Chain A
């Protein structure tokens, strides 16, 4: 395998395209569920904050999206001008679980993961062990969903359908 640091840098675009694709998917599915290969479908929405960067990482702009149409339009224009999302807040809902977190493109690391409907911290020391497994459930569930979504992204990104169908649809959405 090539040097990992070199690969981290060389394939930075892949993580950013994944984030852009997730954004596109979240808007094109709307209230509908997004299918995740081998898993239950999820509802995906982008949160309030997005960090855009240019290819070389020199230009950095943090956009705070308050949900208004004009701000989303501004972010989409950024994509048309060659900027890509480096960080994005996401909301993922599946059954009773409703997660919110920030996903970083370069390392797919997760920050500030919370489940709105998780059982909180136990009162006593007694159930510390149980709480560990509750917490790991959140970590594993979100990790698996992201892996599944990344798999779905790769399937289309590495197929002829990317240039023929997906990219034109994405461009159309950006221009809208």
Chain B
């Protein structure tokens, strides 16, 4: 999902915290330090990191690639390797048959079954190509706002962890309570703390 899509979907964040004087070059350095690293030649099930905006393969931020006017824009790449359940089932059956033949049809022990499953899964994962996904991030540092072009809680979690690790800044999801905190004066904030849900049903109907 991205900022260039015809139909836009996004979650919003507040970003606060101390930033160094040479903020923009610091951002480039931090992005460069947490780049996406390919897992094609491994058996890792999942990997994530930053790439250039809307560009799966470009992982260079040294030339200000993330700077767009007042915004900073880059993408979160998440690669996932998954073995389809039916494929796993078939290869487990094949492995079981081979093992049974090998030990002249003596029953497999629990330990053997567990080991077999581990080996088969590792083997299949190695043969499975990871599926890449991109989620765009646009940050307006002056206004301390950020848009993540994703709405899945799982992606939100990966993004939040990686962003905090990369920039060591405070990142808050925007939701009714945090937005209210941002808008309200201290007296109104106190009233918010004591607020009870409204009852829409008329007294007679309750």
Q: Is A110 an interface residue (CB 8 A)?
A: yes
Interface residue range, chain B: 35 or more
Q: Is A174 an interface residue (CB 8 A)?
A: yes
A5: min CB distance to chain B, Å: 10
Cβ contact within 8 Å between A135 and B4: yes
A109: min CB distance to chain B, Å: 5
Cβ contact within 8 Å between B173 and A8: yes
Cβ contact within 8 Å between B201 and A113: no
**When each residue 109-136 of chain A gets 1 if its CB lies under 8 Å from chain B and 0 otherwise, what string results?**
1111110000001000000110111011
- Bound together, the chains give a CA A151 to CA B185 distance in angstroms of 12
Residues of A in contact, count (CB < 8 Å): 54
Q: Is B68 an interface residue (CB 8 A)?
A: yes
Cβ contact within 8 Å between B180 and A14: yes
Cβ contact within 8 Å between B175 and A15: yes
Q: A80-B205, A110-B8, A139-B147 are in contact. Are A132 and B3 (CB under 8 A)?
A: yes
- Inter-chain contact count A-B, CB under 8 Å? 128
Contact of A158 among B3, B6, B177, B192 (CB under 8 A): B192
- Chain A neighbourhood of B195, CB < 8 A: 14, 157-158
- Bound together, the chains give a CA A2 to CA B177 distance in angstroms of 11
Cβ contact within 8 Å between A135 and B3: yes
B32: min CB distance to chain A, Å: 21
Cβ contact within 8 Å between A80 and B200: yes
- Bound together, the chains give a CA A105 to CA B177 distance in angstroms of 11
Of all chain B residues, the one with the shortest Cβ separation from A84 is: B200
Could you list 7 further interchain pairs (A-B, Cβ under 8 angstroms) beyond the known A79-B200, A114-B8, A135-B4? A11-B176, A80-B200, A107-B11, A111-B9, A147-B183, A154-B188, A158-B184
* Chain B residues within 8 Å of A, Cβ to Cβ: 3-4, 6-12, 53, 68-69, 71, 73, 138, 145, 147, 151, 172-181, 183-184, 188, 191-192, 195, 197-198, 200-202, 205
Smallest CB-CB A-B distances: 10 pairs: A13-B197, A14-B176, A11-B177, A113-B8, A15-B176, A111-B9, A109-B11, A158-B191, A7-B177, A112-B7
Q: Can you list 9 contacts pairing A with B, beta carbon distance less than 8 Å? A: A8-B175, A13-B198, A82-B201, A107-B175, A113-B8, A113-B10, A135-B8, A154-B183, A167-B200
* Chain A residues within 8 Å of B, Cβ to Cβ: 1, 4, 7-8, 10-15, 17-18, 20, 55, 79-82, 84, 101, 104-114, 121, 128-129, 131-133, 135-136, 138-139, 143, 147, 150-151, 154, 157-158, 162, 167, 170-171, 174-175
